[in-house]
Amino acid sequence: MNISNPPDFDAKFEGFFLQMVVPGLEQRCQEIVTQSLGNDWKVKAIGDNLTEFEITPNQDGLSVKEAWDKTYYLRSLPGVVDAEPLFAVPITERSDWEQESRPLVGGLETKALALSSDLDWSLKQLRVFETWARFFPDSNQLPGDGIIIGHPDTGYSEHPEIFVNLLPNVGYDFLKGDRDAKDELETPPTEIINNPGHGTSTASVIISPKGGQASYPSGKAVTGVAPGAKLIPLRVSYSVVLLSVRNLAEAIEYAANQDVHVISISLGTGFSNQRLRSAIIYAQKRGVIIVAASGTYIPYVVWPAAYDEVIAVTGSNVRREIWIGSSTGIQVDVTAPAESVWFAKVRKKDGAIQYNVEQGSGTSFSAPFVAGVAALWLAYHGRDQLIQRYGAEKIPFIFNQILRDSCDKFPTWKPGRFGEGIVNAEKLLAAPLPDNVTQSVIAPGFALSQHSSIDNGINTFAHLFEPQLLDTQPKANFVGTIRDDLSLQSRLAQLLHTTETELPKRLKEVGQELAFYLAATPELYKQFAASLRSQTDDESSKPINLELLREMLLSQGVSEVLKTKLGT
């Protein structure tokens, strides 16, 4: 079988994550890098445990294949616990994951629902106005006052709806490595999908002051959930589609070091990487609540939302239904408005900056709504008082638990798909805090135990192909059984030319690379998904699907190790 038109794939290599066996081995790590990669590489310690390092090239890096080949070699060296490549992975505009052409995340323009003409419908759904009246009666204290939000996105603009509450002097541009996080509002030809101004739009639903701050062509205005909060802009991407794992991880760490209280992430990737999770844990230990979008028109919950430590938010519409473009699944924590949301919009046309207030759809808006609610909760209880009472690192878990417990179910709610329901800010702030430290640990631990780890082995693939596996599971029991789906294990074993008994070992060896290609390439994803759906079909269809998939994978130029495991 010949693949005349192999799937497009253009990931950009950015470096390596390397974990050593014990602390204090920075010199040994440097020696390994020099011997394995050469002299022209930078080694930087990251995290708190003194065993993790970010390895980056000073000049041009490696091809995707070379990066994976080097990864396997690094993993084989004495003293190395783990090595993983870092990539920026684009998703093409024709990302037809199922049957339609669908882009990845945020800012989608859709026909507004008639009921969504109410400028404040999103805040009303979250019961924000009732929360303001009940818990912030002092007109001299704006809701969210004193709370600082870190915002990794495309940067900021001077849009009147957000500028008054920005902290641009504390911001950072991780694309250029300087302190100016201003969104240049350009559409570079190297970007597959461009969404300039995305950072302005997502910031506005958090911090925009009540009522319009200027006159706009639409004649509309936007109000943020926490107009008393301040926001630090962190520029990590030209768009929300070509996501640099390294930029996002460094932005999270930077935000934590700037003593932010909440981080709102309206972007995502299909590539799980320990470098990113290490940054999330670093921030969480410092008491930072991290909220992220579940994804838009992608069949699985994207990372970092999929991590247990992150509050994953899927999207609703004005009718309290799930928006059709929302990524849903077991990893989702809560639901918030996504469809036909009002937000601040900035454009550059013929060199002139244009400001407006418009409507659009995407879980890119769902996450900042919840980040704003988190700011209200912290402001009401007093973050310093919470730290004194519980310790900083427990705050994200306490908030996660109370947030989930206070959600509202809705008529079309389903277990394991939309989290615990639509966020209710009033019930959240009215809920009592845990009486003691023991309760504050046990309760969040119980909530997060509903999520299986998806960082390794079969769980990664169960997460990626959850929609297909749901079709084969009894609806009442799928949450507990999806990770043990036999059809998934069978297909992976066939693909990797091994037995189901030996599959865990094989996935430990090459599972991350295989998942990387399946998650980032729609054609490969669809082919493997088709093999799962065909489990009840004639047996003769299965080898055909998997053989085609093998050829498609090989056309990508996979590593020599994975090539061997594919049976070639």
Per-residue pLDDT tens over the stretch 304-341: 999 999 999 999 999 999 999 999 999 999 999 999 99
Q: Do 227 and 169 share a structural domain?
A: yes
pLDDT band at 447 (very low <50, low <70, confident <90, very high): very low
Helix 26-37 to helix 64-75 angle, to the nearest 10 degrees? 130
pLDDT band at 438 (very low <50, low <70, confident <90, very high): low
What does the DSSP 8-state code read for residue 112?
P
Q: Does the structure show a pLDDT above 60 at 404?
A: yes
pLDDT band at 380 (very low <50, low <70, confident <90, very high): very high
| Contact yes or no for 9/24 (Cβ under 8 A) | no
For residue 368, the number of C-alpha atoms closer than 13 Å in the C-beta half-sphere is 35
Q: Do 462 and 342 share a structural domain?
A: no
Q: How far apart are CA 356 and CA 350, in angstroms?
A: 16
| Beta-bridge partner residues of 41 | 57
Q: How far apart are CA 461 and CA 467, in angstroms?
A: 11
Residue 7 lies in a domain: no
Range with the lowest mean pLDDT among 35-39, 153-157, 533-537? 533-537
Question: Which of 39, 70, 88 corresponds to the end of one domain?
Answer: 88
Q: Do 148 and 281 share a structural domain?
A: yes
pLDDT given for residue 547 in this prediction: 86
In tens, the pLDDT along 344-363 reads 999 988 889 999 999 999 99
In tens, the pLDDT along 270-301 reads 888 899 999 999 999 999 999 999 998 889 99
Range of the domain at 71: 12-88
Question: Which of 388, 417, 448 corresponds to the end of one domain?
Answer: 448
Helix 363-381 to helix 383-390 angle, to the nearest 10 degrees? 80
Which residue stretches of 411-497 are H helix? 425-430, 437-448, 457-464, 466-470, 478-481, 486-495
pLDDT band at 453 (very low <50, low <70, confident <90, very high): low
% pLDDT > 90, the chain: 67
Q: What helix, strand, coil percent values describe the chain, rounded to 5?
A: 40, 15, 45
Residue 386 lies in a domain: yes
The type of residue at 436 is N
pLDDT band at 3 (very low <50, low <70, confident <90, very high): very low
| Cα dist from 85 to 18, 59, 82, 127, 512, whole Å | 9, 16, 10, 43, 10
Strand locations in 161-278 (E): 172-173, 230-235, 243-244, 262-265
pLDDT given for residue 8 in this prediction: 52
Q: Do 443 and 513 share a structural domain?
A: no
Residue 176 lies in a domain: yes
pLDDT band at 65 (very low <50, low <70, confident <90, very high): very high
Mean pLDDT of the chain, nearest integer = 87
% pLDDT > 70, the chain: 84
The candidate with the shortest Cα–Cα distance to 519, out of 300, 297, 246, 194, is 300
pLDDT given for residue 351 in this prediction: 86
pLDDT given for residue 448 in this prediction: 43
| Higher local confidence (pLDDT), 90 or 157 | 157
pLDDT given for residue 91 in this prediction: 53
In tens, the pLDDT along 464-479 reads 998 877 765 554 444 4
pLDDT band at 225 (very low <50, low <70, confident <90, very high): very high
Q: Do 159 and 84 share a structural domain?
A: no
| Contact yes or no for 280/307 (Cβ under 8 A) | yes
Read off the pLDDT of each residue in 17-25 and give the average, rounded to a whole number: 94
The type of residue at 365 is F
Q: Does the structure show a pLDDT above 70 at 40?
A: yes
> Which residues carry out catalysis?
153, 198, 364
Residue 384 lies in a domain: yes
| Contact yes or no for 425/376 (Cβ under 8 A) | yes
pLDDT band at 139 (very low <50, low <70, confident <90, very high): confident
pLDDT band at 195 (very low <50, low <70, confident <90, very high): low
pLDDT given for residue 188 in this prediction: 60
Element (H, E) at 546: helix 541-555
Q: Does the structure show a pLDDT above 60 at 92?
A: no
Q: Do 404 and 304 share a structural domain?
A: yes
Count the domains in the chain: 3
Q: Does the structure show a pLDDT above 50 at 391?
A: yes
Residue 27 lies in a domain: yes
Q: Does the structure show a pLDDT above 70 at 194?
A: no
Q: If phi over 0 gives left and psi between -120 and 50 gives alpha, with beta otherwise, what is residue 363?
A: alpha
pLDDT band at 70 (very low <50, low <70, confident <90, very high): very high
Q: Do 546 and 491 share a structural domain?
A: yes
Q: How far apart are CA 168 and CA 184, in angstroms?
A: 14
292 Cβ contact partners less than 8 Å away, ≥ 6 residues apart: 264, 265, 266, 268, 304, 305, 310, 311, 312, 313, 367
| Contact yes or no for 225/205 (Cβ under 8 A) | yes
What separation, in Å, do the N-terminal and C-terminal C-alpha atoms of the chain show? Answer: 14
| Higher local confidence (pLDDT), 52 or 486 | 52
In sign, the C-alpha dihedral spanning 553, 559, 565, 567 is positive
The candidate with the shortest Cα–Cα distance to 306, out of 332, 287, 282, is 332
Q: Do 331 and 193 share a structural domain?
A: yes
| Contact yes or no for 153/267 (Cβ under 8 A) | yes
| Beta-bridge partner residues of 233 | 151
pLDDT band at 542 (very low <50, low <70, confident <90, very high): low
| Contact yes or no for 452/459 (Cβ under 8 A) | yes
pLDDT band at 107 (very low <50, low <70, confident <90, very high): very low
Question: Which of 72, 88, 104 corresponds to the end of one domain?
Answer: 88
Whether the pTM exceeds 0.75: the reply is yes
Residue 98 lies in a domain: no
Q: Do 39 and 132 share a structural domain?
A: no
Read off the pLDDT of each residue in 427-447 and give the average, rounded to a whole number: 69
The candidate with the shortest Cα–Cα distance to 563, out of 148, 129, 125, 69, is 69
pLDDT band at 114 (very low <50, low <70, confident <90, very high): confident
Q: Do 369 and 476 share a structural domain?
A: no
Q: Which residue has the tokens 């991780």?
A: 174
pLDDT given for residue 487 in this prediction: 82
Residue 5 lies in a domain: no
Q: What is the CATH number of the domain that holds 332?
A: 3.40.50.200
pLDDT given for residue 508 in this prediction: 93
Range with the lowest mean pLDDT among 83-92, 482-491, 492-501, 547-556? 482-491
| Higher local confidence (pLDDT), 139 or 112 | 139
Q: Do 458 and 375 share a structural domain?
A: no
Q: Which residue has the tokens 């949301």?
A: 341
Q: Does the structure show a pLDDT above 90 at 222?
A: yes
Q: Do 496 and 466 share a structural domain?
A: yes
| Contact yes or no for 168/233 (Cβ under 8 A) | yes
Residue 388 lies in a domain: yes
The type of residue at 314 is T
